[in-house]
Amino acid sequence: MRLKITFCPVDKDQIILPIQYNEILQGFIYNSLERGLAERIHNFGFEDPKTKRKFKLFTFSRLLSLQKPLIKNGNIVFSGSFTFFVASPVKEFIQSLAQSILTREVLTLGKVRVLLQSVEVMSPPRYQEKIYVRTLSPITVYSTFRKPDGKKITYYYSPFEEDFRKQILENLNKKLRSLGREADLDGSIRPYKVSSRNQRIILYKNMVIKAWDGVFELCLPSFEPTYEELKHLYLYTTSLQKTRFEPTYEELKRNASISIFSLFKSFEPTYEELKLASSKICKTHPKMF
């Protein structure tokens, strides 16, 4: 599931953040989660039973603005409203984050106060055999080796190397296993509109990281959502509009169209009916404010 979160400045028509603000966004996300959940994800994560590697299982975009941000005195300046996306396959994570944000009108990014404009649940993407995606934050793929003297060295792959694709697919398989799903993914990930100009150098926790932006062509298998996942999506999206997560019968009746609501009135809807209803709601529900 994906959230689109939009902010605007509180006091002035702009906000000023450090150029390397990734850690600030990550801190905002953890601080917005229910404390027990935040500690569980941060300290333990989700373990791949095969490799024993642990994952946080969430990701977030860079800050996006209609007006091009300015670089000034080592900082980045955003004018007007700006947005960022947060995605996770863990429903509890998305629920906790959205619920926390919706209960506060003024929030902080680092030391900067911002005003919440809206929170939206994004429609699940409609995957096809081949799709093209533009990165919302740079992708980094690397391996760590030991030199003959015992020192570690990190090698960052470019999208034009075969190991870039292999490493991403291997990473996806590990994350699927950490969710309790069988994993044997195969497919292709190749640069479509990517050049040397799309390489990004990021400073994160005093580490220099090489990453890549651009448009990529993906040919990957898709996973059909389960019946319970679709039903959860219907109820969850409707409850978000009311800033609560347990909508009443009357709230469902007011927020759903008659044709969709009738599915839940006296009998259990079919898988295909839920799929259609959830898709319509995700595409048409209004902003929360």
Question: Are 270 and 183 contained in the same domain?
Answer: no
First to last CA, the chain: 20
Residues 220/187, Cβ–Cβ less than 8 Å: yes
Among residues 103, 121, 139, which one ends one of the domains?
121
Question: Are 79 and 38 contained in the same domain?
Answer: yes
**Quick one: pLDDT band at residue 105, thresholds 50, 70, 90?**
confident
Question: Are 55 and 96 contained in the same domain?
Answer: yes
Q: Which two tokens stand for residue 1?
A: 């599931």
Residues pairing with 192 in the sheet = none
CATH classification of the domain holding 98: 3.30.70.1890
Question: Are 49 and 115 contained in the same domain?
Answer: yes
Domain count, the chain: 3
Q: What is the mean pLDDT of residues 138-153?
A: 89
- Please check whether residue 180 lies inside any domain of the structure: yes
Question: Are 135 and 100 contained in the same domain?
Answer: no
Q: By residue range, what is the domain housing residue 278?
A: 227-284
pLDDT at residue 226 above 80? Answer: no
- Please check whether residue 289 lies inside any domain of the structure: no
pLDDT at residue 206 above 90? Answer: no
Q: In the prediction, which pLDDT does 86 show?
A: 95
Instruction: Give the residue with greater pLDDT, 141 vs 224.
Output: 141
Question: Are 259 and 203 contained in the same domain?
Answer: no
Question: Are 14 and 98 contained in the same domain?
Answer: yes
Average pLDDT score over the chain: 79
**Quick one: pLDDT band at residue 227, thresholds 50, 70, 90?**
low
pLDDT at residue 45 above 80? Answer: yes
Question: Are 166 and 114 contained in the same domain?
Answer: no
Lowest mean per-residue pLDDT among 17-26, 35-44, 159-168, 236-245: 236-245
**Quick one: pLDDT band at residue 235, thresholds 50, 70, 90?**
low
